[in-house]
Amino acid sequence: MKFDQLLSMVADEPVFSSSLLLSGKADKRQVRLQLSRWVKSGQLIQLRRGLYTLAHPWRKVEPHPFLIANRQRQGSYVSLQSALAWHGAIPEQVPVVTSVGSGRPETANTPLGTFQFQHLAEPLRFGFSRVEVAPRQFAFVAAPEKALLDLVHLTTGGDSEAFLRELRLQNPAVFQHAELDELARRSGKPKLLRASAIITSLLDEEEGEPL
């Protein structure tokens, strides 16, 4: 395969998998060898084994970090600080894209950013949806209530009032109290039920002001 042929196939894709090129009668060894050569020549950027994006100036579509995160680990969704910041629930911009899902905790450093994955047990993997994060780019992202509960669950002492105040939650209207309570109850985790009650109290207390 020549690079022009690759461009005709993936020019409009923000990221693509090598499996796209390995279908049919393609010589898998030759395809993988060619991909490796294009990475070395600077024409492709490898984001993970089998996952690539075109390098500039060939890249027409800038991949959104949340899309990259989803594609790096199948079955994961963006949550924790990244989802909270995206929803406007915390003031800080988060330099690392944080996700939860199956598998071991991992931090992946790539030319397009750093991606952190935390393990979350399967029964707790709910409260997220597929949303458009950039034009024609979709990713699974936690609802603000679930992103906060995931953070509480994965943080030692996350259900303490001191920790929750340190988050400096803002825009109380972002959070639906009934949804927060429902998600906490669905988890069946006493820690999350305690945190839900504290969060609701703090949001009521500080409505319209950062916590």
Q: Which residue ranges make up each domain of the chain?
A: 3-54, 65-205
Q: Is the pLDDT of residue 92 over 90?
A: no
Over residues 111-123, the pLDDT tens digits come to: 999 999 999 999 9
How far apart are alpha carbons 50 and 48 in whole angstroms?
A: 6
Q: Give the pLDDT confidence score for residue 210 in this predicted structure.
A: 46
Model confidence over 96-152: pLDDT tens digits? Answer: 999 999 999 999 999 999 999 999 999 999 999 999 999 999 999 999 999 999 999
* CB-CB contact of 180 with 145 (8 Å): yes
What does each C-alpha distance from 80 to 5, 64, 153, 156, 189 come to in angstroms?
40, 17, 10, 14, 17
Query: Measured between alpha carbons, how far apart are the two ends of the chain, in Å?
Result: 57
How far is residue 203 from each of residues 22, 95, 151, 157, 174, measured CA to CA in Å? 52, 26, 17, 19, 10
Whether this prediction's pTM lies above 0.75 is answered by: yes
* Among candidate residues 72, 3, 4, the one with its CA nearest the CA of residue 38: 3
